[in-house]
């Protein structure tokens, strides 16, 4: 499980140094892809494969919605193995999707890690704070 928040910066080659507490679990390979709310999602290779099977198999291939979802989920996905210093490259397409500059927010969110533009993250957290404070199990289907 990934938990906690850190505030790293991209280096001059657009590499992210993964938080030390996550590195061991990510050393075997990761996939970086688009996330909802215009963040990036970093997953272990195994978790990406499990989610990919779910995304790719929920609706018939004839469904325009499924095709669109698959295109967004897979088109910028990037398989990588962190280097010896725990760095991964954040490619241009993913940086543009998430509106990333040098400063980042990296958040452990259970089975995955999210990478955010700091201003977007602050705005999202502010906009959803009341929903969190008033959360009730009956309002959200949890899988």
Which structure tokens are listed for 45?
Answer: 């290779």
Tell me the two tokens of residue 116.
């955010």
Range of the domain at 66: 2-134
Return the CA Rg of the chain. 16
In a domain, 141, yes or no: no
Q: Is residue 140 part of a domain?
A: no
Residue 139 lies in a domain: no
143 found inside a domain: no
* pLDDT at site 62: 78
List the chain pLDDT tens, one digit each, 143 residues: 999 999 999 999 999 999 999 999 999 999 999 999 999 999 999 999 999 888 777 667 778 888 888 888 899 999 999 999 999 999 999 999 999 999 999 999 999 999 999 999 999 999 999 988 988 876 555 44
CATH code of the domain in which 10 resides: 3.40.1550.20
142 domain-assigned: no
Does 78 reside within a domain? yes
* 93 part of a folded domain: yes
Domains of the chain: total:
1
- pLDDT at position 140: 58
């Amino acid at each position: 499980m990934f938990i906690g928040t850190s505030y790293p910066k991209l280096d001059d080659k657009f590499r992210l140094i993964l938080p030390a507490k996550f590195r061991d679990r990510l050393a075997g390979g990761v996939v970086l892809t688009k996330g909802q709310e215009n963040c990036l999602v970093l997953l272990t290779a195994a978790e990406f494969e499990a989610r990919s099977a779910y995304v790719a198999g929920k609706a018939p291939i004839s469904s325009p919605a499924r095709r669109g979802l698959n295109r967004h989920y897979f088109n910028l996905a990037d398989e990588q193995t962190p280097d010896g210093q725990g760095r991964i490259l954040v490619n241009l397409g993913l940086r543009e999707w998430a509106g990333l500059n040098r400063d980042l927010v990296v958040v452990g969110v259970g089975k995955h890690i999210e990478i955010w533009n700091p201003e977007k993250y602050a705005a999202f957290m502010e906009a959803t704070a009341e929903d969190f404070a008033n959360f009730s199990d009956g309002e959200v289907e949890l899988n």
